[in-house]
Amino acid sequence: MKPLVRDILEALEKIAPQGLAEPWDNPGLQVGSLGGKVNKVMVALDPSVATLRGAVEEDAQVLLTHHPLIFKPITSIEANTGPGPVLFEAIREEISIVSVHTNLDAAIEGVNQVLANMLSLEAIEPLSPSAGEGLVGIGRIGLLPRSLSVEDFVGNVKEIFGLKVVRVVNPKKAQVRRVAVVGGSGGGFIQVARSRGADILFTGDLKYHQAREAEAIGLTVVDGGHFSTEIATMGALRDSFERMCNELGWEVDVVLYEKEQDPFLFV
């Protein structure tokens, strides 16, 4: 059975319900045809010209991304600025772009759960729970199998996520065991992490004044970058969606775009 784009959206509700999304977010269909037939889906972090062209090369009809293409109402579309280049190309190539963003962050098996699993955390709970039961909510908090020095924890993070450098606030803490995790941009969860008894927060996109805030309250923060803390989980999204397709009896190939790169370079 070959699904339609509307069927893809329905299936994604079981992985990342749109009701879990933050009020400012815009998950779901970004551009495309709900009635379009789907033979192949490509998963990527960002809806960019590069990932869209990757979908074209793979003959995929849907580009499933974490980050939405459109966040705010659009009053005009220009072909060479903002979302224009991607929108024009998607329409020209008849590719539908679908996104699962903060709803995937909060989902039971979403971005933050995957990160917590990658760090081998135990006794995992939502850092900021949503209404409902189970592991639903933004972020995760749990215990390392044993206490580590900050240096050893950072070494593990760099090895697991393939990072050469990370930013660290309060690196002199003797030992850490209770770890809070927020993929992407988690500087706004510093006080939450502290209130939940975290020794350390692993996140990305930490701003200067947020770093000062963490410094003031004695919370160690390891910033692995927005890109690296999320790209590492896209393979899990591909696997989850592929399992969903198999359970539904769909004849759909699900592939991962593997050429995305962090826009930030260290020189």
Q: Is residue 59 left, alpha or beta, with left meaning phi > 0 and alpha meaning psi from -120 to 50?
A: left
Whether 16 and 81 map to the same domain: the answer is yes
Q: Which two tokens stand for residue 55?
A: 């979908």
Question: How many structural domains are present in the chain?
Answer: 2
Please indicate, yes or no, if residue 212 is contained in any of the structural domains.
yes
User: Looking at residue 135, what is its pLDDT?
Assistant: 77
CA distance 224 to 156: 12
CA distance 27 to 230: 16
Whether 78 and 116 map to the same domain: the answer is no
What is the Cα 82 distance to its own chain's centre? Answer: 21
Strands 167-169 and 220-223 turn out to be antiparallel
Whether 209 and 248 map to the same domain: the answer is no
Whether 149 and 179 map to the same domain: the answer is yes
User: Looking at residue 126, what is its pLDDT?
Assistant: 96
User: Looking at residue 133, what is its pLDDT?
Assistant: 65
CATH of the domain at 59: 3.40.1390.30
Q: Which two tokens stand for residue 2?
A: 């070959």
Please indicate, yes or no, if residue 266 is contained in any of the structural domains.
no
For residue 206, give its domain range. 111-226
CA distance 42 to 24: 25
Which residues neighbour 195 within 8 Å (Cβ) at sequence distance 6 or greater?
A: none
pLDDT tens profile 79-121: 899 899 999 999 999 999 999 999 999 999 999 999 999 999 9
Q: Which two tokens stand for residue 33?
A: 């045809």
pLDDT in tens, the chain (267 residues): 899 999 999 999 999 999 999 999 999 999 999 999 999 999 999 999 999 999 999 999 999 999 999 998 888 999 899 899 999 999 999 999 999 999 999 999 999 999 999 999 999 999 999 876 677 999 999 999 999 999 999 999 999 999 999 999 999 888 999 999 999 999 999 999 999 999 999 999 999 999 999 999 999 999 999 999 999 999 999 999 999 999 999 999 999 999 999 999 988
Whether 87 and 126 map to the same domain: the answer is no
3-state SS of 82-117 is CCHHHHHHHHHHCCEEEECCHHHHHCCCCHHHHHHH
